[in-house]
Amino acid sequence: HAGSNRVQMLASPYRVRGLSPGRIPRRPRPVFAASLPAVRSFGVDDEDEIVASLTEGNDALPPLVEVVTRVGEDRLKVVKPPGAEDLWDWYESKGQMEADPSWGKLWFTSRILASCVASCVESLPELRSKRVVEVGCGLGLAGLSAAMFGGSKSVIFCDREPLAIHCALSSAALNEVEVVAVDDVNNSSSGCRVAGALLDWSAPQTLSQPVDVVLGADCLYDPATAALLASACHALVAGDGHVVIAEPENERAKGCRQAFLEAALQSGATRAEVIHPPPEHQISPNGVLVIVCWSK
């Protein structure tokens, strides 16, 4: 595949629209080598079939492959590092010892949310014709599902890591979803458009486009930032919209979920609850959906 136009496109970083570049405070990163493996397993996504090697890595990009992953009865092409360990090795080779490689894996919570979105599960807010943002998007599986199967008008992939957004946008392009700039994401009369924007929820911001629904997966892992995430979601929907975050049933850090829900209620949320996805969308070791709604 080395000479194909597809690989040349995917091996060149997408231009990502930044929000106040250089002035966004970065929330504390977990220490990968010491504390994080005790909480998360960074194993290879063995359930996904690697169909192409896109790049072995260079100064701009880590090693990337194309995999095919199943979302319900559907299949999606995803651009990702071969594994988080490969991504960490690349970061280490670049001297980026504080980098967070967790974005490079398809976490089971993102698979649960993507499956629920694709099937339009009744307990979720309506996504058809809605303007969607995926926060902490990582590889963007939930957002891709909203764009391809949920009937969303637009999807903006948001993360603090530009490489994560690059992979999400590359996956969208592979799946023949139109990739545009943030300012153009809602300027289409037919078909979903996607865009990417840097966003760190330690500094709540708004986008240049209105947002109806915020999606996320595995975002509640630090009690110190849970309330900040609620504030960021409130800002993104401008106090009138929904949030759905898929989380492990057994919290990664005790108190995160409650801190998020309490902060949402304090900001005027009319719905703030934790539900279980339908059994047919559940994946071991089981996840839950944290749902918040604000309305004017």
**What are the phi and psi torsion angles at 129 (to 5°)?**
65, 15
Which among 260, 215, 270 is positioned nearest to 240, based on CA atoms?
270
Tens of pLDDT, residue by residue over 92-106, are: 999 999 999 999 999
Tens of pLDDT, residue by residue over 2-16, are: 333 343 345 444 444
Q: How high does pLDDT run on average in the chain?
A: 86
In this predicted structure, which of 35-44, 74-83, 237-246 has the lowest mean pLDDT? 35-44
Question: Using an 8 Å Cβ cutoff, are 97 and 253 in contact?
Answer: no
Q: What is the pTM of this model?
A: 0.86
pLDDT at 158 over 80: yes
Q: Report the pLDDT averaged over residues 216-241.
A: 94
d(CA 193, CA 179): 6
What pairs with residue 287 in β-bridges? 248
204 falls in which pLDDT band (50, 70, 90)?
Answer: low
Q: What percent of the chain has pLDDT over 70?
A: 84
pLDDT at 249: 96
Tens of pLDDT, residue by residue over 171-185, are: 999 999 999 999 999
Q: What is the 3-state secondary structure (H, E, C) of 274-292?
A: EECCCHHHCCCCCEEEEEE
Helices and strands (H and E) in the chain: how many: 7, 11
Burial (CB count <10 Å: 0-12, 13-18, 19+), residue 2: exposed
Which among 45, 49, 58 is positioned nearest to 10, based on CA atoms?
58
pLDDT at 46: 56
Amino acid identity, position 277: P
Q: Report the pLDDT averaged over residues 26-47.
A: 40
Q: Report the pLDDT averaged over residues 61-89.
A: 93
Q: Report the pLDDT averaged over residues 119-145.
A: 96
Strand 241-248, strand 213-217: pairing? parallel
Question: Using an 8 Å Cβ cutoff, are 212 and 33 in contact?
Answer: no
In this predicted structure, which of 37-46, 125-134, 194-203 has the lowest mean pLDDT? 37-46
Rounded to 5°, the CA angle 138-194-270 comes to: 75
d(CA 241, CA 239): 6
- What is the longest distance spanned by two Cα atoms in the chain? 55
d(CA 73, CA 51): 19
pLDDT at 37 over 80: no
Q: Which helix (H) or strand (E) holds 51?
A: strand 49-55
The number of angstroms, rounded, from the C-alpha of 46 to the middle of its chain's C-alpha atoms is 20
Q: Report the pLDDT averaged over residues 133-137.
A: 97
Residue 81: asked if its preceding bond is cis (omega within 30°), the reply is no
d(CA 284, CA 212): 30
In this predicted structure, which of 16-20, 22-26, 175-179 has the lowest mean pLDDT? 22-26
pLDDT at 34 over 80: no
Q: Report the pLDDT averaged over residues 123-144.
A: 97
DSSP string, 222-242: -HHHHHHHHHHHHHHTTTSEE
Q: Report the pLDDT averaged over residues 64-71.
A: 96
pLDDT at 211 over 70: yes
